[in-house]
Structure 1
Amino acid sequence: MTKRGPAISCVIPVYRAAAALPELYRRLLATLTGENQTFEIIFVEDCGGDASWEIISAVAAKDPRVRGVRMSRNYGQHNAILCGIREARGEIIITMDDDLQHPPEELPKLLAKLAEGFDVVYGPPREEKHGTLRNLASMVTKWVLQEAMAAEMARQVSALRAFRTELREAFANYQSSYVNIDVLLTWATTNFGAVTVRHEPRTQGESGYTTSKLVRHAFNMITGFSTLPLQMASITGLFLALFGFCVLFYVLVRHFMEDGAPPGFPFLASIIAIFSGAQLFSIGIIGEYIARMHSRAMDRPVYAVRSRTKADDFTK
Structure 2
Amino acid sequence: MDLSIVIPLLNEEESLQELYDWISKVMESNHFSYEIVFIDDGSTDRSWDLIESLGLKDPRVKGIKFPRNYGKSQALNAGFKQVNGDVVITMDADLQDSPEEIPELFKLIKEENFDLISGWKKVRHDSKIKKNLPSKLFNAAARKTSGLSLHDFNCGLKAYKNEVVKSIDVYGEMHRYIPVLAKNAGFSNIDEKVVAHQARKYGKTKFGMNRFVNGFLDLLTINFLSRFGKRPMHLFGLLGTLMFAIGFFASLYIGITKLIKLYHHEPTILVTDNPWFYIALTAMMIGSQLFLAGFLGELITRSKNQEKRYSVSKQINF
Q: Could you say what secondary structure the match of 2:36 adopts?
A: strand
1:205 matched to 2:200? The reply is no
Distance 1:283 1:239 in 2: 13
- Which residue of the other structure, out of 14, 33, 52, is the alignment partner of 2:9? 14
Offset at 1:110? 2.0
1:306 matched to 2:313? The reply is yes
**Structure 1: stretches of 5+ with no match in the other structure:** 312-316
Q: Which residue is 2:51 aligned to?
A: 56
Are the equivalent residues in 2 in contact too, given 1:113–1:193 (CA < 8 A)?
no
Q: Which residue is 2:87 aligned to?
A: 92
Matches within 5 A, 1:45-124: 45-114=40-109, 115-124=111-120
**Residues 186-226 of structure 1, C-alpha deviation per residue, up to 9 Å, x if partnerless?**
54744333323345566623237712432454465467665
User: Cα–Cα, structure 1 residues 290 and 131, in superposed 2: closer, same or farther, change >3 Å?
Assistant: farther
Q: Give the aligned CA root-mean-square deviation in angstroms.
A: 4.2
Which has the higher relative contact order, 1 or 2, with Cα contacts under 8 A spaced 6 or more apart?
A: 1
Offset at 1:283? 5.0
**TM-score, normalised on structure 1?**
0.70
**Residues 164-205 of structure 1, C-alpha deviation per residue, up to 9 Å, x if partnerless?**
32556657xx8x988876536854744333323345566623
User: Cα–Cα, structure 1 residues 122 and 137, in superposed 2: closer, same or farther, change >3 Å?
Assistant: closer
Are the equivalent residues in 2 in contact too, given 1:177–1:301 (CA < 8 A)?
no
Offset at 1:45? 1.2
Structure with bigger gyration radius: 2
Number of residue pairs aligned between Structure 1 and Structure 2: 296
User: Cα–Cα, structure 1 residues 18 and 38, in superposed 2: closer, same or farther, change >3 Å?
Assistant: same
**TM-score, normalised on structure 2?**
0.70
**Structure 2: stretches of 5+ with no match in the other structure:** none
Distance 2:92 2:193 in 1: 17
Are the equivalent residues in 2 in contact too, given 1:45–1:53 (CA < 8 A)?
yes
Distance 2:135 2:166 in 1: 33
**Residues 68-88 of structure 1, C-alpha deviation per residue, up to 9 Å, x if partnerless?**
221344444333223222322
Offset at 1:277? 4.2
Distance 1:65 1:306 in 2: 20
Distance 2:301 2:252 in 1: 41
Distance 1:207 1:288 in 2: 34
1:195 matched to 2:180? The reply is no
1:160 matched to 2:157? The reply is yes
- Which residue of the other structure, out of 275, 279, 300, is the alignment partner of 1:266? 275
**Residues 107-138 of structure 1, C-alpha deviation per residue, up to 9 Å, x if partnerless?**
33422322212233222443775254565456
User: Cα–Cα, structure 1 residues 177 and 194, in superposed 2: closer, same or farther, change >3 Å?
Assistant: closer
